[in-house]
A and B are shown apart, each in its own frame.
Chain A
Amino acid sequence: MTLSDKVSVAGMGCLCACGNTPEQAFDGALSGEALFTLPTGRVESTYATKYPVFLVSQAVCKDKPADQTLSQFFFIKASRQAFAQAGILPNQLEPKRVGVIIGASVHPSLHCFEIYKHWRKKELTALDTAGLKNYLATPLAQWVSRYFGFEGPFQTVATACASGTDAIGLAKNWIETGLCDAVLCGGTDEIAESPYDGFIRLLVATTERCRPFCKTRSGINIGEGAAALLLVNSQTAEKFKLSCQGYVLGYGNCCDGFHPTAPDPTAIGLQKALRFALADSGKTADDMAFVNAHGTASQANDSAESVAFKTILPNVPVWGSKGVTGHTLGAAGAIEAVLALQALNTHTLPATVGFTTTDDALQLVPTTSQQTISKRFAVSDSLAFGGCNAAVVLGAKDAA
């Protein structure tokens, strides 16, 4: 099988704290500019210590329809960008052969915090009841599928912070196994009370801007956003003369069953996921221009990743992008895949924003300055609570 027979990315869309399109977000990754601020008006916080987050711009959020959650709204916006870039309207595809897979963490959980507070006080309003019923009527991926008029399979992946990477990997497999001709996939998440408080109470959030792989790293900043990728098989790409933004070539996933909120320090699960993704892609570590690391800037995450990279991806440059996006949870893997494709397609690898000082314990120095890259492939990995690890291998649009 040649690369032209592989699953291609016909179009992609993205919005996050460093930009509202893939191009803008990548420019933000290069410049380090991002909306990093307190979630005033979004989260009720009584903490004396303030924990800023990475937010999608208010100029975008203000257009959210009242009957959509931010997670839904973000994903629809990203999807529209993906279809526009692909050069096709959603209704031109055969509806029964188009799948939808979305990774998310807030939306699949019953974090209806305002409704719940009203219910506790026995003050549930008609609006609350309607909101709850609406939430329970249609799961996220099915809602998106219906929004665009698709009738194929759908899946909302809830593997916490690995969900976005899993969604892309599973979408690739749905196409390769003949289940679908095209899959709209990606991830979406929003700042909400539960994860905001939860990460602070787990003592992994920081009041400073995060510093992936840095000796002085002090924790994570959560963020929000979405990324959508329209993956297609070669026949569909050919039939509709779709754009090609790159390829999804390999997917690996492995759980390490170590701790509820920390990865196995030996990174056995992540190593296996990376190894499988490389084998699935038919590429080797030497073919990789870089790895877009999960790089949350928590002590445990960055340490485990450094172990895995030394073993599976020796000498492959490591880029962490959460210094401009924050940790967007279920959207992270998808946003990072889009940024990685932008890097491959522009032959430009950004510096790891936030990194300043080498941590000798990690024996890993991420990118410290912008670099020109010539290799045409990259890996993007994600680690999640519960020891779930996932990785995808991506190819540039001119890799074929």
Chain B
Amino acid sequence: MLPKLFINGAVCLTGDAAPEDFAPFMDVRKLRRAEPISKNVLWCAFKALEQAQLKDTSSANLGISLAMGAGALESTLKFMDSIVQDGDELSSPTAFASSVHNSTALFLSMLLGIHGPCVVTGQLDASFAAALLTAQQFLAKNMCEQVLVAITEDVNPLLAEQLQKDPQIFAPFIYQPSLPPTRLAGALAVSDKPTAATQFVLDTVSLSNTSDLQTQSTPWVTTCSCAHSAALLDSYLRKKEPFVLREQFAGTILEIAGEPYVQP
């Protein structure tokens, strides 16, 4: 049986975290080589884990379930740029290493001291839902006691240009024609049992691939990136009311139902 998910911390970020935002949590100098996509989700993780009262993450039994819609787009492009500009013999190994999805997982694991199960999901808009399912699986199989569900999305000028022409395409970032594309990130600390920090409980988390959009009283919401999904969930949590979130994008159906958790 799949467990309920108790949300003990939830934070979303629009835009980039500034170096001073990290000062309460760590030595900022350790971030000097980090990509924004990793720094943003790290800041969200610090805040979510703080809410979850998990300050000493290295001794906590934590896992990581990371969602990245299209991976580290900036590093991917940097690496391809380096091949085009400098030739393959001088292409950047650092950009290649940073372009791998796992580089962000490593960043979280290393700086938070997490040594538990870790899976990265890379499937466009449906990444967040699958990351929640993975967290549920980690907990159901007792692979850890809590899971950091982390979501982070990058900007990309090629996609921004295409988005101008076709607003329906997948875009991991916030795009407004008059403004530069904006990154999004988020983090949830979840467990399968309530803790003193539990704020919400999710009864239903489901992801399916169906054209059967059953119309019920709750309207469908259309999203276009996994970070948007996380931000949407965060907005529901902030209302502190029971909710049913039903999203669809290109046949992907995500349903999350939850309610505020009342501490005994």
Taking CB atoms, residues of chain B closer than 8 Å to A176 are 141
| Chain B residues in 8 Å Cβ range of A157 | 119-122
Determine if B121 and A155 form an interchain contact, defined as CB atoms under 8 angstroms apart.
yes
Q: In the complex the two chains form, is A145's CB within 8 Å of B123's CB?
A: no
* Residue in B1, B2, B119 with the greatest tally of chain A CB atoms within 10 Å: B119
| Interface hits, B73-127 → A, CB 8 Å | 73, 76-77, 79-81, 83-84, 87-89, 91-93, 96-103, 105-106, 109-110, 113-124, 126-127
B186 contacts the other chain (CB 8 A): no
> Which of B68, B77, B91, B114 touches A257 (beta carbons < 8 Å)?
B114
Question: What 0/1 pattern do residues 85 to 120 of A give for CB contact below 8 A with B?
Answer: 000000000001000100001001111010111011
Chain A residues within 8 Å of B208, by CB: 96, 151-153
Write the nearest CB–CB distance from A132 to chain B, whole angstroms: 6
Determine whether B170 belongs to the interface, using a CB cutoff of 8 Å to chain A.
yes
Give how many B residues have a beta carbon under 8 Å from the other chain's beta carbons.
Answer: 72
A105's contact among B80, B100, B210, by CB below 8 Å, is which?
A: B100
In the complex formed, the residue of A with least CB distance to B207 is A153
Q: In whole angstroms, what is the CA distance A105 to B72 when docked?
A: 12
Beta-carbon contacts of B241-259 to A below 8 Å, as 1s and 0s? Answer: 0000000001110000000
Q: Which of B116-151 contact A (CB under 8 A)?
A: 116-124, 126-127, 130, 133-134, 136-137, 140-141, 143
Q: Is B229 an interface residue (CB 8 A)?
A: no
Q: With A254-B117, A260-B97 in contact, is A384–B102 under 8 Å at CB?
A: yes
Are A158 and B120 also in contact (CB < 8 A) when A109-B101, A153-B208 are? yes
> B119 contacts which chain A residues (CB < 8 A)?
157, 159, 166, 170, 253, 388
In the assembly, what is the distance between CA of A110 and CA of B115, in Å? 29
B28 within 8 A of A: no
Q: A133-B166, A153-B207, A255-B109 known; A140 and B123 CB under 8 Å?
A: yes
Q: Does A268 reach chain B (CB closer than 8 Å)?
A: yes
Q: Is the CB of B99 within 8 A of A158?
A: no
Q: B77, A116: Cβ atoms under 8 Å? A: yes
Would B121 and A154 count as touching, CB distance under 8 A?
no
Within 8 Å by CB of B137, from A177, A255, A384, A385, lies: A177
A346 interface hit (Cβ, 8 Å): no
Query: A109 vs B99: C-alpha distance in the bound complex, in angstroms?
Result: 8
| Closest CB in chain A relative to B84 CB, distance in Å | 6
Task: Please measure, in the bound complex, the distance between the C-alpha atom of A116 and the C-alpha atom of B74, giving whole angstroms.
Answer: 13
| B18 CB-CB contact with A under 8 Å | no
A129 within 8 A of B: yes
Counting CB contacts under 8 A, is A1 at the interface?
Answer: no
Q: Which of A150-184 contact B (CB under 8 A)?
A: 150-160, 166, 170, 173-174, 176-179
Contact residues in A for B106 (Cβ distance below 8 Å): 255, 257, 259-260, 385-388
Q: For the complex, is B27 an interface residue (Cβ under 8 Å from A)? A: no
Chain A CB within 10 Å, residue with most, of B81, B120, B210: B120
**Which residues of chain A are within 8 angstroms of B77 by Cβ–Cβ distance?**
110, 116
Taking a contact as CB atoms under 8 Å apart, the answer to whether B99 and A385 are in contact is: no
Contact A153 B130, CB 8 Å, known A158-B68, A194-B79, A257-B114: yes
Instruction: Please give the distance in Å from B6's CB to the nearest CB on chain A.
Output: 17
Given A96-B208, A253-B117: A159 and B76 interface contact (C-beta under 8 Å)? no
Contact status B80-A113, CB under 8 Å: yes
Interface contact B96-A202, CB-CB below 8 Å: yes
Q: Which of B81, B92, B113, B121 has the most CB of A within 10 A?
A: B121
Check B71 for interface membership: any CB of A closer than 8 A: yes
| Interface hub of A108, A202, A251, A258 (most chain B Cβ within 10 A) | A108
Contacts of B115 in A (CB 8 A): 254-257, 268-269, 272
The reply to whether A154 and B71 form a contact with Cβ atoms under 8 Å apart is no
Given A110-B76, A116-B158, A177-B140, decide whether A153 and B123 contact each other with a Cβ distance below 8 A: no
CB-CB < 8 A to B170: which residues of A? 136-137
A44 CB within 8 Å of chain B? yes
Q: Give B80's nearest chain A residue, CB to CB.
A: A116
Q: Which residues of B contact A150 (CB under 8 A)?
A: 209
CB distance from A111 to the nearest CB of B (A): 7
Contacts of A109 in B (CB 8 A): 70-71, 76, 99-101, 122
- Please name the 6 residue pairs, one residue from A and one from B, whose CB atoms are nearest each other, closest first: A386-B102, A158-B122, A257-B109, A198-B96, A108-B122, A139-B123
**Additional A-B contacts beyond A155-B134, A253-B119 (11; CB < 8 A):** A108-B101, A109-B70, A129-B165, A139-B127, A155-B130, A178-B1, A197-B91, A202-B96, A202-B97, A386-B102, A387-B102
Binding site for A on B (CB under 8 A): 1-2, 64, 68, 70-71, 73, 76-77, 79-81, 83-84, 87-89, 91-93, 96-103, 105-106, 109-110, 113-124, 126-127, 130, 133-134, 136-137, 140-141, 143, 156, 158-159, 161-162, 165-166, 169-170, 206-210, 212, 250-252
A-B contact pairs, 6 of them (CB 8 A): A136-B70, A142-B209, A152-B209, A170-B119, A200-B88, A253-B117
